[in-house]
Amino acid sequence: MLNRFIISTLIVATMLLAAAAPSPAEVYGPNVKIRNNTILVSTGMNLDKKSIDEITKGVSKEIVFYVHMFRQWRWWPDEFVIGISVSQALRCDPVKRSIPLSPYAAARRLKRGSSPASSLSAGP
């Protein structure tokens, strides 16, 4: 049961990450680990040269990841359990000419719905 839960979470996360990339950025992951009944999902991305140049020139970019978890049923449609959106703003520090990232991104729980479409409409 837990394996099906993890596989469905990975599939949804991969589809959302692949569909949400508006520019040619390399997204790697997601990597899933289970520790003490907690599911840890990690992912990352490499920005292309054009995006990095825009950020260093002062253009702020916001990256948003949506993670949705579904419960799979044998004879019933899959049920949306919980979802979060994690956003991180990328801004260049003009003095240091670097892009500082906070270790904590803004995370927000999404509303529970009966279908994936209703959970996506809760958006940012």
User: Where in the chain are the domains?
Assistant: 2-120
Least confident segment among 44-58, 63-77, 79-93, 99-113: 99-113
pTM given for the model: 0.53
Q: For tokens 């003490």, what's the residue?
A: 36
Count of alpha carbons within 13 angstroms of residue 77, beta-carbon side:
5
Least confident segment among 29-33, 59-63, 93-97: 93-97
* List of residues 6+ apart from 4 with CB closer than 8 A: 72
CA angle 89, 112, 116 (to 5 degrees): 80
CA 56 to chain centre: 24
Q: For tokens 């997204």, what's the residue?
A: 27
